[in-house]
Amino acid sequence: MNNYHLYEEIGHGKFSTVYKGRKRYSISYVAVKSIEKSRREKFMTEVGILSNTKHVNVVGFVNWYETRNHLWIIFEYCAGGDLLRLLKQDGRLPEEQVRRFSYRLRMLTQFC
């Protein structure tokens, strides 16, 4: 993880925290998810799925690392935030957008 600078926390869950980060010597931002080492099995499942998923509507997987106390997943950074933030901001999404997103997600999960 020495290859990345970590900035502010941008999200968290029960077993993980997500930070805004930047690869050293670059101007590219990434999202860096830190997971408790006790969750290794679920972590490896997530890495396996994400590393094999390439789709315009899915956040891109960059790499993963293990340190003494944590497991780390590096994702592409989405400056606009997540879907929940968008829904809270706008209150709802247009029905046609939801229909298209649902269809694409269904097609994607058939092949995973």
Residue range(s) occupied by CATH 3.30.200.20 in the chain: 4-80
Q: Does domain 4-80 have CATH number 3.30.9.10?
A: no
Rounded CA gap, 7 and 31, in Å?
Answer: 10
Burial class (CB in 10 A: 0-12, 13-18, 19+), 35: buried
Listed as own residue / partner, the contacts of 6-13 with beta carbons closer than 8 Å and 24 or more positions apart are: 6/32, 11/82
Instruction: Judge whether 88 is annotated as a binding position.
Output: no
DSSP 83: H
**pTM for this prediction:** 0.74
Output the tens digit of pLDDT for each of the chain's 112 residues.
788 999 999 988 889 999 999 999 999 999 999 999 999 999 999 999 999 988 777 889 999 999 999 999 999 998 877 667 767 776 667 777 777 777 777 766 665 4
